[in-house]
Amino acid sequence: MIDAPSPNFDDRRRPVSIIVIHYTGMPTAEGALAWLRDPESRVSCHYFIAEDGTAFRLVDEAQRAWHAGAGSWRDVTDDVNSASIGIELVNPGHEYGYRPFPDEQILALIALMRGIVARHAIRPAMVIGHSDLAPTRKEDPGELFPWEWLAREGLAMSRPAPGPDPGWTDAGADMALAHYGYGMVDPRAARVAFQRRFRPERLDGQWDAQCRAILLGLLRAAPR
């Protein structure tokens, strides 16, 4: 772990209960790291992991880094920054050439997350992507992020095994999605975020039997 302090932090207002995973979404790792440490940017994160697995600590976990922005997840309906630890993964993102995350990077992430989860007793359902808490604004870490690898390590929710279609109407499925944790300011954006996380092979923002069955399995596995 390399210390690379950022001045962009302040005091937490609530205990840590969430991990938010981001991609940097910038052309270069060097530019992204510099931006997260620039006082004029007003953004930061707690940890930054390069594609070769090199990890940097920018903000102490006891402090509130500025990474999440407006959004919500489950019972944290405002100031997600105060309740979360933000981890940035170097990846140019959808705008600059989105690509798979190297194994070295994910192995470093897993090692880092094991410690964070142990220190703060974070449940798998509270390990999310930036797009989960801010569906109308964000796409990261995106459909190429290997969530199932984290799930096998007990660090994130796994996609449920195929199960029955509950047959909800679209309105009923939207209500179930809100109950699972997604903000529903824009229902279609929330559906796409859900698909990006749990059914990345098709991101059409439409309810179908597979999506409804996945959501039912998640609600059973991680009730509110």
**Separation between Cα atoms, residue 151 and residue 156, nearest integer Å:** 5
**Separation between Cα atoms, residue 184 and residue 173, nearest integer Å:** 11
**Separation between Cα atoms, residue 178 and residue 187, nearest integer Å:** 9
**Separation between Cα atoms, residue 8 and residue 39, nearest integer Å:** 6
User: Of 30, 40, 88, 153, which residue is the catalytic one?
Assistant: 88
**Separation between Cα atoms, residue 101 and residue 192, nearest integer Å:** 21
Q: Is 180 helix (H, G, I), strand (E, B) or coil?
A: helix
Strand partners, 64: 10
Cβ-based neighbour number of residue 63 at 10 Å: 14
| Best CA proximity match to 138, nearest among 25, 50, 35, 36 | 25
**Separation between Cα atoms, residue 211 and residue 205, nearest integer Å:** 10
| Best CA proximity match to 87, nearest among 35, 127, 121 | 127
> Does 61 qualify as catalytic in the annotation?
no
> Which residues form the catalytic set?
88
